Amino acid sequence: MKIRFGVGIGAETPAGRLAGIVDHLESSGVDSLWFSELVYTEATDPFVGMAYALGRTTRLKVGTSVAILPGRHPVLVAKQLASLAALAPKRVLPVFGLQSAIPAERAIFAVPAGRRAAVFDEALQVLRATLTSPDVTFEGEHYTVHDVAVAPRPAPPLDIWLGGSAPAALRRIGRLGDGWLGSFLTPEEARRGREAIERAAADAGRHIEADHFGISLAVADGELGDQTVEVVRRRRPDVDPSELIARDWPALHRQLDAYLAAGLTKFVIRPAAAVPMDAFVERFVAELTPRET
Protein backbone atom coordinates (compact mmCIF):
# COMPACT_ATOMS: atom_id res chain seq x y z
CA MET A 1 0.00 0.00 0.00
CA LYS A 2 1.14 3.54 -0.71
CA ILE A 3 2.25 5.48 2.37
CA ARG A 4 1.97 9.21 1.79
CA PHE A 5 2.56 12.36 3.85
CA GLY A 6 1.07 15.79 3.27
CA VAL A 7 1.56 19.15 4.95
CA GLY A 8 -1.35 20.74 6.81
CA ILE A 9 -1.56 24.48 7.34
CA GLY A 10 -3.90 26.22 9.71
CA ALA A 11 -4.64 29.43 11.53
CA GLU A 12 -0.98 30.30 12.03
CA THR A 13 -0.42 30.68 8.26
CA PRO A 14 -1.85 33.92 6.84
CA ALA A 15 -2.66 34.16 3.15
CA GLY A 16 0.29 36.43 2.46
CA ARG A 17 2.70 33.55 3.10
CA LEU A 18 0.92 31.01 0.97
CA ALA A 19 2.82 31.59 -2.29
CA GLY A 20 6.18 30.80 -0.74
CA ILE A 21 4.84 27.71 1.03
CA VAL A 22 3.23 26.35 -2.14
CA ASP A 23 6.37 26.92 -4.19
CA HIS A 24 8.53 25.26 -1.52
CA LEU A 25 6.28 22.20 -1.36
CA GLU A 26 6.23 21.86 -5.14
CA SER A 27 9.98 22.18 -5.54
CA SER A 28 10.63 19.77 -2.63
CA GLY A 29 8.45 17.02 -4.06
CA VAL A 30 5.97 16.98 -1.15
CA ASP A 31 2.92 14.85 -1.97
CA SER A 32 0.11 17.14 -0.85
CA LEU A 33 -1.04 20.33 0.87
CA TRP A 34 -4.12 20.51 3.09
CA PHE A 35 -6.30 23.50 4.01
CA SER A 36 -8.43 23.60 7.17
CA GLU A 37 -11.82 25.27 7.48
CA LEU A 38 -11.01 28.12 9.90
CA VAL A 39 -13.34 31.00 9.14
CA TYR A 40 -12.55 33.41 11.97
CA THR A 41 -8.78 33.36 11.43
CA GLU A 42 -6.23 34.56 8.89
CA ALA A 43 -6.18 31.11 7.30
CA THR A 44 -7.08 30.90 3.61
CA ASP A 45 -10.51 29.52 2.73
CA PRO A 46 -10.09 25.87 1.68
CA PHE A 47 -11.63 26.20 -1.78
CA VAL A 48 -9.80 29.44 -2.54
CA GLY A 49 -6.58 27.93 -1.23
CA MET A 50 -6.97 24.81 -3.35
CA ALA A 51 -7.58 26.85 -6.50
CA TYR A 52 -4.56 29.07 -5.82
CA ALA A 53 -2.21 26.19 -5.04
CA LEU A 54 -3.34 24.06 -7.98
CA GLY A 55 -3.00 26.96 -10.38
CA ARG A 56 0.54 27.61 -9.17
CA THR A 57 1.80 24.01 -9.40
CA THR A 58 1.90 21.05 -11.76
CA ARG A 59 2.24 18.03 -9.45
CA LEU A 60 1.29 18.97 -5.88
CA LYS A 61 -2.01 17.45 -4.74
CA VAL A 62 -4.29 19.64 -2.63
CA GLY A 63 -7.07 18.77 -0.18
CA THR A 64 -9.39 20.01 2.55
CA SER A 65 -8.75 18.98 6.12
CA VAL A 66 -11.69 19.20 6.57
CA ALA A 67 -14.33 21.38 4.86
CA ILE A 68 -17.84 21.58 6.28
CA LEU A 69 -20.52 20.33 3.87
CA PRO A 70 -23.83 20.83 5.74
CA GLY A 71 -24.71 24.49 5.25
CA ARG A 72 -23.34 24.57 1.69
CA HIS A 73 -25.50 23.56 -1.27
CA PRO A 74 -24.00 20.33 -2.59
CA VAL A 75 -24.61 21.18 -6.25
CA LEU A 76 -22.53 24.34 -5.93
CA VAL A 77 -19.81 22.37 -4.11
CA ALA A 78 -19.90 19.80 -6.91
CA LYS A 79 -19.38 22.57 -9.46
CA GLN A 80 -16.39 23.90 -7.51
CA LEU A 81 -14.81 20.45 -7.26
CA ALA A 82 -15.51 19.62 -10.91
CA SER A 83 -13.90 22.89 -11.99
CA LEU A 84 -10.82 22.24 -9.86
CA ALA A 85 -10.51 18.69 -11.14
CA ALA A 86 -10.70 19.90 -14.75
CA LEU A 87 -7.91 22.40 -14.09
CA ALA A 88 -5.76 19.90 -12.18
CA PRO A 89 -6.75 16.29 -12.92
CA LYS A 90 -6.04 13.73 -10.19
CA ARG A 91 -4.79 16.40 -7.77
CA VAL A 92 -8.00 17.34 -5.90
CA LEU A 93 -8.58 15.62 -2.55
CA PRO A 94 -11.88 16.68 -0.92
CA VAL A 95 -12.55 15.72 2.69
CA PHE A 96 -15.79 16.82 4.35
CA GLY A 97 -17.01 16.95 7.92
CA LEU A 98 -20.27 17.34 9.81
CA GLN A 99 -19.54 20.55 11.67
CA SER A 100 -16.78 22.92 12.67
CA ALA A 101 -14.56 21.94 15.59
CA ILE A 102 -14.78 25.60 16.65
CA PRO A 103 -18.10 26.19 18.43
CA ALA A 104 -18.20 29.90 17.52
CA GLU A 105 -18.19 29.02 13.80
CA ARG A 106 -20.94 26.39 13.80
CA ALA A 107 -23.84 28.80 13.40
CA ILE A 108 -22.56 30.10 10.06
CA PHE A 109 -23.08 26.67 8.48
CA ALA A 110 -26.81 26.91 9.03
CA VAL A 111 -29.04 23.83 8.92
CA PRO A 112 -32.40 23.06 10.61
CA ALA A 113 -31.98 22.50 14.34
CA GLY A 114 -31.26 18.90 15.21
CA ARG A 115 -31.02 17.82 11.58
CA ARG A 116 -27.34 18.33 10.79
CA ALA A 117 -26.58 14.62 10.35
CA ALA A 118 -29.59 14.10 8.09
CA VAL A 119 -28.61 17.14 6.02
CA PHE A 120 -25.07 15.77 5.73
CA ASP A 121 -26.29 12.40 4.48
CA GLU A 122 -28.48 13.97 1.80
CA ALA A 123 -25.80 16.47 0.80
CA LEU A 124 -23.30 13.66 0.28
CA GLN A 125 -25.73 11.76 -1.92
CA VAL A 126 -26.48 14.83 -4.03
CA LEU A 127 -22.79 15.74 -4.25
CA ARG A 128 -21.73 12.30 -5.43
CA ALA A 129 -24.59 11.98 -7.92
CA THR A 130 -23.86 15.41 -9.37
CA LEU A 131 -20.17 14.60 -9.82
CA THR A 132 -20.83 11.28 -11.55
CA SER A 133 -24.13 11.53 -13.46
CA PRO A 134 -25.14 13.73 -16.42
CA ASP A 135 -28.73 14.27 -15.28
CA VAL A 136 -29.52 14.25 -11.56
CA THR A 137 -32.93 14.39 -9.92
CA PHE A 138 -33.11 14.03 -6.16
CA GLU A 139 -36.06 14.56 -3.85
CA GLY A 140 -35.28 14.45 -0.15
CA GLU A 141 -36.27 16.08 3.09
CA HIS A 142 -33.63 18.80 2.83
CA TYR A 143 -32.63 18.93 -0.84
CA THR A 144 -34.72 18.71 -3.96
CA VAL A 145 -33.06 19.14 -7.36
CA HIS A 146 -34.24 18.35 -10.87
CA ASP A 147 -32.31 17.84 -14.08
CA VAL A 148 -28.99 18.91 -12.57
CA ALA A 149 -26.08 18.67 -14.99
CA VAL A 150 -22.69 19.87 -13.76
CA ALA A 151 -19.83 19.81 -16.25
CA PRO A 152 -17.16 18.82 -16.81
CA ARG A 153 -17.60 15.74 -14.67
CA PRO A 154 -14.29 14.47 -13.27
CA ALA A 155 -12.88 11.37 -14.91
CA PRO A 156 -12.04 9.28 -13.06
CA PRO A 157 -14.61 10.30 -10.43
CA LEU A 158 -13.29 12.11 -7.38
CA ASP A 159 -12.90 10.15 -4.17
CA ILE A 160 -14.88 11.80 -1.38
CA TRP A 161 -13.30 11.28 2.02
CA LEU A 162 -14.97 12.12 5.32
CA GLY A 163 -13.81 13.09 8.79
CA GLY A 164 -15.33 12.27 12.15
CA SER A 165 -14.92 9.62 14.82
CA ALA A 166 -18.29 9.26 16.55
CA PRO A 167 -20.03 5.92 15.95
CA ALA A 168 -22.60 7.56 13.65
CA ALA A 169 -19.80 9.26 11.69
CA LEU A 170 -17.97 5.96 11.19
CA ARG A 171 -21.17 4.32 9.93
CA ARG A 172 -21.71 7.25 7.54
CA ILE A 173 -18.21 6.87 6.14
CA GLY A 174 -18.85 3.19 5.50
CA ARG A 175 -22.16 3.92 3.76
CA LEU A 176 -21.28 7.05 1.82
CA GLY A 177 -17.54 7.78 1.84
CA ASP A 178 -14.52 6.66 -0.15
CA GLY A 179 -12.03 7.17 2.67
CA TRP A 180 -11.45 8.50 6.18
CA LEU A 181 -9.27 11.27 7.58
CA GLY A 182 -9.41 11.13 11.37
CA SER A 183 -7.94 13.42 14.00
CA PHE A 184 -7.32 13.52 17.76
CA LEU A 185 -7.35 9.71 17.99
CA THR A 186 -4.88 7.32 19.54
CA PRO A 187 -3.59 4.50 17.31
CA GLU A 188 -5.84 1.97 19.01
CA GLU A 189 -8.87 4.25 18.56
CA ALA A 190 -7.90 4.68 14.91
CA ARG A 191 -7.72 0.90 14.50
CA ARG A 192 -11.19 0.47 15.96
CA GLY A 193 -12.49 3.30 13.78
CA ARG A 194 -11.09 1.72 10.62
CA GLU A 195 -12.62 -1.61 11.53
CA ALA A 196 -16.02 0.00 12.24
CA ILE A 197 -15.93 1.75 8.86
CA GLU A 198 -15.09 -1.48 7.07
CA ARG A 199 -17.98 -3.26 8.81
CA ALA A 200 -20.39 -0.46 7.88
CA ALA A 201 -19.21 -0.55 4.28
CA ALA A 202 -19.69 -4.32 4.10
CA ASP A 203 -23.19 -3.99 5.58
CA ALA A 204 -23.99 -1.46 2.83
CA GLY A 205 -22.58 -3.72 0.11
CA ARG A 206 -19.62 -1.42 -0.44
CA HIS A 207 -15.83 -1.64 -0.17
CA ILE A 208 -13.37 1.05 0.87
CA GLU A 209 -9.85 0.67 -0.43
CA ALA A 210 -7.39 -0.51 2.21
CA ASP A 211 -5.12 2.50 1.68
CA HIS A 212 -7.94 5.04 2.04
CA PHE A 213 -7.56 5.49 5.79
CA GLY A 214 -5.59 8.40 7.22
CA ILE A 215 -5.18 10.79 10.10
CA SER A 216 -4.15 14.38 10.75
CA LEU A 217 -1.26 14.71 13.22
CA ALA A 218 0.77 17.55 14.71
CA VAL A 219 4.43 17.70 15.71
CA ALA A 220 6.07 20.18 18.07
CA ASP A 221 9.67 21.35 18.12
CA GLY A 222 10.85 19.77 21.34
CA GLU A 223 8.06 20.56 23.80
CA LEU A 224 4.32 20.97 23.94
CA GLY A 225 3.42 24.58 24.60
CA ASP A 226 0.70 25.52 27.06
CA GLN A 227 -1.63 26.64 24.28
CA THR A 228 -1.20 23.36 22.41
CA VAL A 229 -1.88 21.36 25.56
CA GLU A 230 -5.00 23.40 26.27
CA VAL A 231 -6.35 22.82 22.75
CA VAL A 232 -5.87 19.08 23.07
CA ARG A 233 -7.42 18.97 26.54
CA ARG A 234 -10.51 20.81 25.29
CA ARG A 235 -10.94 18.27 22.49
CA ARG A 236 -9.86 15.14 24.40
CA PRO A 237 -9.79 15.69 28.18
CA ASP A 238 -9.60 11.92 28.64
CA VAL A 239 -6.23 11.48 26.89
CA ASP A 240 -2.71 12.62 27.75
CA PRO A 241 -1.88 15.36 25.17
CA SER A 242 1.48 13.71 24.41
CA GLU A 243 -0.42 10.71 23.02
CA LEU A 244 -2.06 12.90 20.38
CA ILE A 245 0.58 15.56 19.66
CA ALA A 246 4.18 14.51 19.06
CA ARG A 247 6.65 16.39 21.24
CA ASP A 248 9.34 16.15 18.56
CA TRP A 249 10.14 14.32 15.35
CA PRO A 250 11.39 11.09 17.01
CA ALA A 251 8.08 10.97 18.91
CA LEU A 252 6.21 11.49 15.64
CA HIS A 253 8.01 8.52 14.07
CA ARG A 254 6.94 6.34 17.00
CA GLN A 255 3.35 7.51 16.55
CA LEU A 256 3.50 6.83 12.83
CA ASP A 257 4.71 3.28 13.47
CA ALA A 258 1.68 2.70 15.68
CA TYR A 259 -0.79 4.20 13.19
CA LEU A 260 0.71 2.15 10.37
CA ALA A 261 0.26 -0.97 12.50
CA ALA A 262 -3.38 0.11 12.97
CA GLY A 263 -3.90 0.09 9.20
CA LEU A 264 -3.58 3.79 8.37
CA THR A 265 -1.37 4.87 5.46
CA LYS A 266 -2.19 8.52 4.70
CA PHE A 267 -0.98 11.29 7.02
CA VAL A 268 -1.48 15.05 7.14
CA ILE A 269 1.28 16.53 9.29
CA ARG A 270 1.06 20.06 10.66
CA PRO A 271 3.25 22.08 13.02
CA ALA A 272 1.89 22.10 16.57
CA ALA A 273 2.69 25.79 17.07
CA ALA A 274 3.67 28.90 15.13
CA VAL A 275 6.99 28.00 13.51
CA PRO A 276 8.65 29.23 10.31
CA MET A 277 7.05 27.14 7.57
CA ASP A 278 10.25 27.04 5.49
CA ALA A 279 12.06 25.31 8.34
CA PHE A 280 9.09 23.01 8.96
CA VAL A 281 8.93 21.95 5.31
CA GLU A 282 12.67 21.24 5.20
CA ARG A 283 12.41 19.05 8.29
CA PHE A 284 9.25 17.40 6.94
CA VAL A 285 11.02 16.45 3.71
CA ALA A 286 14.09 15.12 5.51
CA GLU A 287 12.12 13.10 8.06
CA LEU A 288 9.15 11.79 6.07
CA THR A 289 10.02 11.51 2.41
CA PRO A 290 12.17 8.42 3.09
CA ARG A 291 9.16 6.73 4.68
CA GLU A 292 6.95 7.02 1.61
CA THR A 293 6.40 3.90 -0.50
pLDDT tens digits for range 19-77: 999 999 999 999 999 999 999 998 999 999 999 999 999 999 999 999 999 999 999 99
Q: Quickly state the pLDDT bin for 282 (edges 50, 70, 90).
A: very high
Q: How far apart are CA 100 and CA 12, in angstroms?
A: 17
138-147, 231-240, 255-264, 271-280: range with lowest mean pLDDT = 271-280
- Comparison of pLDDT for 12 and 23, the residue scoring more: 23
pTM of the model: 0.96
pLDDT, tens only, 192-216: 999 999 999 999 999 999 999 999 9
pLDDT for the residue numbered 16: 83
Statement: residue 191 has pLDDT above 90: yes
pLDDT, tens only, 108-143: 999 999 999 999 999 999 999 999 999 999 999 999
Domains observed in the chain: 4-291 (3.20.20.30)
Angle, alpha carbons 163-126-76 (nearest 5°): 85
**What are the Cα distances from residue 141, in Å, to 115, 138, 145, 283?**
10, 10, 11, 49
How does the average pLDDT of the chain come out, rounded? 96
Judged by DSSP in three states, 86 sits in helix
Count CA atoms within 13 Å of residue 113 on its CB side. 0
pLDDT for the residue numbered 203: 98
